[in-house]
């Protein structure tokens, strides 16, 4: 058995977080070098998005250019809620 470190983790009830990229449930543990992402792939996607300056709020659909224009227009008019 190679479960020694697992037993220790079980005692500490590892925190579950949602991957910011795909929303999959991930254990926040030192076993996961990509935390809070579930995988290297998701982390790279997120880093790539930042690099492209197209990063969006995790879990939200991407905003269209048109939506963004409408929002800016609304804010410039005084931001009526
Ligand atoms: Zn993920």
- Digit-by-digit pLDDT tens for the chain (81 residues) are 555 555 554 566 778 999 999 999 998 888 889 999 999 999 988 888 766 655 555 556 666 777 778 888 888 887 555
pTM of the predicted protein model: 0.45
pLDDT tens-place string over residues 36-59: 999 999 998 888 876 665 555 555
pLDDT confidence of residue 26: 92
Å from CA of 34 to ligand 1 middle: 9
Å from CA of 50 to ligand 1 middle: 16
Å from CA of 16 to ligand 1 middle: 13
What letter does residue 14 receive in the DSSP assignment?
P
pLDDT confidence of residue 11: 60
Among candidate residues 46, 4, 15, 64, the one with its CA nearest the CA of residue 37? 46
What letter does residue 23 receive in the DSSP assignment?
-
Å from CA of 18 to ligand 1 middle: 8
Distance CA 2, CA 8 (A): 12
Q: What are the helix and strand counts (H, E) for the chain? A: 3, 2
H helices of 32-80, in order, are 40-51, 65-76
């Amino acid at each position: 058995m190679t479960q020694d470190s697992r037993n220790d983790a079980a005692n500490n009830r590892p925190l579950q977080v949602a991957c910011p990229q795909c929303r999959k449930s991930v254990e926040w543990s030192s076993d996961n070098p990509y935390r809070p992402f579930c995988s290297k792939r998701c982390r790279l996607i997120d880093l790539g998005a930042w690099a492209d300056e197209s990063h969006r709020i995790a879990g939200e659909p991407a905003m269209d250019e048109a939506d963004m224009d409408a929002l800016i227009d609304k804010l410039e008019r005084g931001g009526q809620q």
